[in-house]
Amino acid sequence: MTNQMEIEVADQKLKSMDHAEQHYFNSYNHHGIHEEMLKDEVRTKSYMHSIVQNKHLFKDKIVLDVGCGTGILSMFAANAGAKHVFGVDMSTIIFKAREIVEVNGLSDKITLIQGKMEEIKLPVGEVDIIISEWMGYFLLYESMLDTVLYARDNYLVKGGLIFPNKATIWVAGIEDGDYKDEKIGFWDNVYGFDYSPLKETALSEPLVDTVDIKTVVTDPVNILTLDLYTCTTADLAFKSNFQLVARRNDFIHALVAWFDIEFTACHKPICFSTGPHTQYTHWKQTVFYLKDVLTVKQGEKVQCSLHNRPNEKNKRDLDITVDYKFENEDPTKAAEGRCLYKMC
């Protein structure tokens, strides 16, 4: 059974953190969020296949699971023949994870450590493989990628492996008039009153939801690629200039973003996408509504830039700026604007 004193010490650690960090780690104490992630078959099976189908990579290796949660990835690695797996998590869910590891007969292969990766000291000086499910909405929201990079820089042996090791963010334009009217236009007339001051607030909050592939009006554009072997925390704040090309005559009400993940070390490369063209994942897609409605014809181009940076007060939140410019021979169709978004 879990030592009650250890749980109390962990709770005190959490309470000593600032409010934003407390909120983040406490959110992973709850059963529901882990159930949602485990039931996400795209996510969980991709990790499972990347590990158990590559036993030649894991056999007799020392593995580090960063943000181990309920221990599912650690157990995959142990079953793949790892010599030993060290899982680290600040959330108190780790105490349940220890029980799960024990009832599955893997306590001799897996050691779970409660604490922040940046503050604990592993019992070993280096590890052969790092595994982690670190992605958040829009890839980087509330993500723990900087923690994975810390683990890489401090523990990964030269030539060691990272699972997964590549992430790409994509953006496209979508027609979403009905929902935009429901979400944004609603504030123009609220029981006969003008609530337009709240319209700006509504526009500044990106929507995390599933997007129908039929609404996608433009070709997708890659705005960021991260190689986890070489990227740095500085790369998590980025600006991308890009051009969206209309596939058909339609309207663009918003931009939609999603990400792809790759495990390229595998004998047979494994990847998954969180886009509107693929099977549902709990990450869904992220929608950024524009102030203007762009009326585009097939082949016409919209010039855009997206600037993403961690919020100064809470690095797990994101401040995102989107600039767009649509030039058209018909001045009534031309549009230019800047939108500021906060993911918090």
pLDDT digits (tens, 9 = 90+) for 73-105: 999 999 999 999 999 999 999 999 999 999 999
What count of Cα atoms within 13 Å lies in the side-chain half-sphere of residue 152?
22
Residue 147 maps to a domain: no
Q: Is residue 156 part of a domain?
A: no
Residue 228 maps to a domain: yes
**Residue at 245: amino acid letter:** V
Nearest to 176 by CA among 222, 212, 219: 212
Residue 157 lies in a domain: no
Of the candidates 133, 146, 29, the one whose C-alpha atom is nearest the C-alpha of residue 74 is: 133
We report the CATH number of the domain holding residue 242 as 2.70.160.11
Residues 188 and 317 in one domain: yes
Above pLDDT 70, what percent of the chain? 92
- The pLDDT-based confidence of 278 (bands split at 50, 70, 90) is very high
Long-range contacts of 99-102 (CB under 8 A, 24+ apart): 99/1, 99/2, 100/70, 100/71, 100/75, 101/71, 101/74, 101/75
| Same domain? 118 vs 175 | no
Structural domains of the chain, count: 2
Instruction: Tokens for 324, please give them.
Output: 């767009």
CATH number at residue 59: 3.40.50.150
Q: Are residues 256 and 329 in the same domain?
A: yes
The pLDDT of residue 1 is 46
249-260 confidence digits (pLDDT tens): 999 999 999 999
Strand partners, 100: none
Are 77 and 212 in a shared domain? no
- Cα 141 to Cα 285: distance, rounded to the nearest angstrom: 12
* 327 is known as an active-site residue: no
Q: In this predicted model, which residue has the larger pLDDT, 9 or 211?
A: 211
Q: Are residues 65 and 197 in the same domain?
A: no
Do 37 and 128 lie in a common domain?
yes
Q: Name the residue range of residue 214's domain.
A: 167-343
Question: Is residue 176 very low, low, confident or very high in pLDDT (cuts 50, 70, 90)?
Answer: very high
Same domain? For 84 and 182 the reply is no
State phi, psi for 264 to the nearest 5 degrees.
Answer: -85, -10
d(CA 22, CA 41): 29
C-alpha distances (whole Å) from 342 to each of 72, 153, 189, 314, 336 are: 32, 30, 25, 11, 20
The verdict on whether 133 is a catalytic residue reads: yes
Q: Which of 8, 21, 35, 133 is catalytic?
A: 133
pTM over 0.85: yes
154 is a domain residue: no
Q: State the catalytic residue, choosing from 35, 36, 142, 300.
A: 142
Both 294 and 171 in one domain: the answer is yes
Cis peptide before 164 (omega within 30 of 0): yes
Ranges 3-7, 82-86, 334-338: which has the least confidence: 3-7
pLDDT (0 to 100) of residue 248: 98
